[in-house]
A and B are shown apart, each in its own frame.
Chain A
Amino acid sequence: MTVAENVRTKYEAVIGIECHVELKTKTKMFCACENEFGGEPNTKVCPVCLALPGALPVANEEAIEHMLVAGLAFGATIPAFSKFDRKNYFYPDMPKDYQISQYDMPLTQGGIVRYWLEDGTMNECRLTRIHLEEDTGKSTHAGGGDGRIAGSTHSLIDFNRAGVPLMECVSEPDIRSADEAVGYLEALKRTFVLLGVSDVKMEEGSLRCDANVSIRPVGSKDYGTKTEIKNMNSFRSVHRAIESEIDRQIAVLESGGRIVQETRGWDESQGVTHSMRSKEQAHDYRYFPDPDLVPMEIDASRLEKVKRVIPDAHLPWNRFARYHGEYGLDVKQAAQLIDNLPLADYFDKSVEASKNPQQSMNFVLGDLSRLANETGTPVHESAVTPQSLAELIALVEGKTINSKIAKELLQRMWNGEGSPKAIVEKEGLAQTSDTGEIEKFVAEVLSSNEKAVADYKSGKTNILGFLTGQVMKASRGKANPALVQDLLKQKLS
């Protein structure tokens, strides 16, 4: 369903996103089972996460801590009092037939996610809340060939994932396009990875999201009827699904129809959403406070402690503002750094030490990244420390060495030869601007390259580059190239 561009521009999309993110913790949310992806089915289970009669949940403190860290990073409010509720519905891969979740008193409220678009503009989306809950097991439908329920003869359930801590991030309907949706999701992902609260591996299902999509005429302040899109398993499919759903809704309205409030599933292969269930079939989850768990009280001193561990300067939007806005890195380069946390940390440290973002970036994204690729040693684990890189940059900036020597030095530093300054001093590699010394090399080169000299004099002045190179070589790279050129020109004129 493709909608003509001139029709499309009549409408504005209003999008809110609900995102489920599995937390990275040692153990599951309410029991001592290992929280790790995969494994032989039903090997990471115990009476609690299998909901055996009599088993009781005990909340995982590490997961609660992660929630506080994530919430505070987005500037959310952490209420002093929070509790767990039961969300009641029957589903075979949900062992208790209720999910322990949070209803009206989530751990975090509000907050803002800042993200950027491909053109580098910053945008923001308000969070409604982030709450803590538990994941379900996984069903596999067997005997039917294609893994669908329809046509299968039986289902197999793996409860390894049952009880894995899950945070649900609910956004306000601040998102206006598929691009913004992906920008928002990427910011979430980057933040969670940075904070270490989740691995956010979509391919392992550790981030899953639903989008609430509605459209309205441009300029309108009212909300249209929304649909909820499910089953999107990559950022790319989120993008495609939202685009497709916006187009579908426009087509419905343009043809005089009305949007039905419903849940729609994204069909990746067909590239369309299809109706799953309408609002009338919606569950009554009969939420009530879980009597097996005691309410959580979070005092101000604990929040202060958590705030201290949040690396504000490293938050993706802060890094982006600095890299792109301040240092002038392009959007791709900035993202490349931001998405490679150890490299970004390395970069930040080298900028701090060298006070030279441009040179730091050139080395980090250039020669150092190349060396890392060639050797398989990540930059931050190499022998080149941010401090020694800053030393090198200072040598270049102070014109003590030229860029050619710098390249060589970097290789030697990578090989573990230590401080560039020490090498330069020990081996006399400092660039020389001593005219007398350089004149000797110039004279040497001119006498041994008679043909080039003749060519130059006959008007082929671009041979000067060759001659400069020869002088540099003779000086073992130490000569100041600008001075070499000047002297050559003098002698040849």
Chain B
Amino acid sequence: MAALRQAQGDIVRMTAVEIAAAVNSGKTSAAEMTDAVLAHVDAVDDRIGAFLTRLHEVARAAARRVDERVRGGEKLPLAGVPIAVKDNMCLTGTRTTAGSKILENWVAPYTCTAVQRILDAGGIPVGKANMDEFAMGSSCENSALGVTRNPYDLSRVPGGSSGGSVAAVAAYEAAIGLGSDTGGSIREPGAFCNVVGFKPTYGRVSRYGLIAFASSLDQIGPLTRTVEDAALAYEAISGHDPMDSTSIDRPVEKASTALRADLKGLRIGIVKQFVTEKLGPEIHALYQQSYRELEQLGATLIDVELPTADYGLATYYLIAPAECSSNLARFDGVRYGLRVEGADVGAMYEATRAAGFGPEVKRRILIGTYALSSGYYDAYYVKAQKARTMFANDFKRAFESCDLIASPAASSPAFQFNAKSDPYSMYMMDYYTIPMSLAGLPALSVPCGWITPEGPSTGSGQARPMPMGLQLAAPLFEEVRLLAAAHAYEQSTKHALKYAPSVCHPEVSKDPEPVEGRKS
């Protein structure tokens, strides 16, 4: 039994690159791979809660198709790779909820472009992953449908809004998680769960079939355990889609073969306004160490200015809610989803939306409705759009003197459930990621070390080391540069390998596993 578990453990820890190679070469089959992953999901996910829906049948059917194609001589870039799909992406025949009661029982009749591209590339969707309702949140606590726990400490949140996808990847329930990032929803959870979280340039990945939060900011991207896997996933899902007018029609450079071993010749900007002292001495020291590591790899550190930095949250929390107030209007009980009857259609709308939306969603709809109202539109929405242009210009100027920008990916390590009682302190988690979102830049978070936060964790009562993430951002369309540098950093520092999530070893529920527990 133990041997079997060990074998299964080895299988689920394989990276996407390894799995695809093994399946394409016939060393293993997609079916075998999928069975192992599904068994692992069934073994651990009751405690993690990464998935709102496990897709046993869908996954097995997809695996059979992949095996057939491989037998037919095809080489598939994601052959047999298990994928966690954030539940705001449609997949025909599967429940797609966006983490909301209003879509609790909605079954999508069509498939999101990014998910379809994953399927075409041989990926196996193993489950629909939990998320903050309509991707509004930074901890996954705003999901109306379930709790997702951080695999490195079950008393802590996985981050959000792509909390389920990231937890699935961290707990080896999938090799790739598809997430969506509006203001940091891929990068922050990536940082919280020792995972690479990559948001490509706005428009690189089609949004068709992604349930909209804020259309001008939403961007699908991968969560993976290695940068190489992120590059692989990115290649599969990116590229122009005629179904999305905002998707960019320009060639996608190959990232997976352009990865590099050092950072020689790269100028990396450190934003003066992103003061890490205010994050506390431990976190400050960790990021200073990360920056030194970049330098040791051959990069030149350059001070750059982002004068608008402090206006990021204010700008974001006008634009995103304004768009969401309109995007979420369609959830009205008329055609699909929850309907709570009322005396007339107006009463039905009110009852449906009152029962169907959670408090954070309502808060943002209210803010957005207000910001777009006549008399306030110029003062809020228009001004925010102008500020957004300033962010784009500031970054443009900054990138004149550097090739990449490095910063924290989140303001703290993963916090405990219910730790952020007021919305603003939750919004602050995205302080470092929002400016890049406003400017549409490609950015990622890569594990950069461990912090032992104060406060007890479940079980032992002792605090556990929690992962931290370094954010790297690049100019528009410079995904290859970004991934290449992140790969060099990851491969030389190996921060991610220091601890493994304890939940994967039921016998050991005390501390995260030391270094040998995790395979790269």
Contact = CB atoms under 8 A, between A and B. Distances in A.
Interface residues on B, range: 35 or more
A461 interface: no
A47 B330 CA distance: 12
A155 B369 CA distance: 28
Nearest to B242: A58
A293 interface: yes
A154 B107 CA distance: 25
Q: Identify whether the interface residues of A are mostly helix, strand, loop, or mixed.
A: loop
Given A58-B242, A88-B372, A293-B245, A53 B326 contact: no
B332 A54 contact: no
Interface in B194-246: 207-212, 214-216, 242-246
B110 A47 contact: yes
A98 interface: yes
A56 interface: yes
Contacts of A57: 245
A96 B323 CA distance: 13
A58 B244 CA distance: 7
Contacts, number: 102
A45 to B, nearest CB: 10
A339 interface: no
Contacts of A90: 329, 332, 346, 349
B374 A292 contact: no
Interface in B273-301: none
A291 interface: yes
A291 B330 contact: no
Contact of A53 (B90, B214, B334, B374): B90
Contact of B246 (A47, A86, A97, A294): A294
A286 B369 contact: yes
A286 B336 contact: no
Interface in A29-73: 47, 50-59
A288 interface: yes
Contacts of A98: 326, 329
A83 to B, nearest CB: 12
Nearest to A57: B245
Contact of B109 (A52, A58, A286): A52
Contact of A284 (B106, B110, B345, B373): B373
Given A53-B96, A98-B326, A155 B345 contact: yes
Interface residues on A, range: 20 to 34
Contact of B207 (A56, A59, A286, A293): A56
A54 B210 contact: yes
B245 A59 contact: yes
A291 B372 CA distance: 14
Contacts of B212: 53-54, 292
Interface in A83-129: 86, 88, 90, 92, 95-98
A88 B323 CA distance: 11
Interface of B is mostly: loop
Given A291-B215, A294-B246, A286 B332 contact: no
Contact of A54 (B90, B322, B373, B377): B90
A86 B336 CA distance: 22
B337 to A, nearest CB: 8
Interface string A281-303: 00010111001111000000000
A53 B98 contact: yes
B471 to A, nearest CB: 24
A51 B216 CA distance: 18
A205 B334 CA distance: 24
Interface in B345-368: 345-346, 349
B330 A96 contact: yes
A292 B345 CA distance: 28
B250 interface: no
B196 to A, nearest CB: 25
A157 interface: yes
B330 A54 contact: no
B103 interface: yes
A95 B212 CA distance: 15
Contacts of B242: 58
B326 A56 contact: no
Given A53-B106, A286-B373, A97 B245 contact: no
B112 interface: yes
A136 to B, nearest CB: 12
Nearest to A93: B334
A213 B176 CA distance: 63
Contact of A56 (B208, B216, B346, B373): B208
A86 B345 contact: no
B334 A157 contact: yes
B246 A55 contact: no
Interface in B86-102: 88-90, 96, 98
A58 B206 CA distance: 12
Contacts of B90: 52-54
Contact of B245 (A86, A95, A292): A292
B27 interface: no
A47 B109 CA distance: 8
B381 interface: yes
B336 A52 contact: yes
A54 B335 contact: no
A56 B334 contact: no
Given A53-B211, A56-B208, A88 B326 contact: yes
Contacts of B109: 47, 52
A97 B330 contact: yes
Given A50-B335, A52-B109, A284-B373, A294 B326 contact: no
B330 A95 contact: yes
B209 A55 contact: yes
Contacts of B372: 88, 286-288
Contact of A288 (B108, B345, B377): B377
Nearest to A50: B335
Interface in A267-293: 284, 286-288, 291-293
B296 to A, nearest CB: 42
Nearest to B208: A56
Nearest to B90: A54
B332 A56 contact: no
Contacts of A157: 334
Nearest to A46: B110
Contacts of A287: 372
Closest 3 CB pairs of A and B: A97-B329, A291-B216, A286-B372
Given A51-B335, A92-B345, 16 more contacts: A52-B109, A53-B330, A54-B96, A54-B209, A56-B243, A58-B245, A86-B326, A88-B372, A90-B346, A95-B330, A97-B330, A98-B326, A155-B345, A286-B369, A288-B322, A291-B215
25 contacts: A47-B110, A52-B108, A53-B88, A53-B98, A53-B106, A53-B211, A53-B331, A54-B90, A54-B108, A54-B112, A55-B110, A55-B208, A58-B244, A88-B329, A92-B332, A92-B334, A96-B329, A98-B326, A286-B325, A286-B326, A286-B372, A288-B377, A291-B216, A292-B215, A292-B246
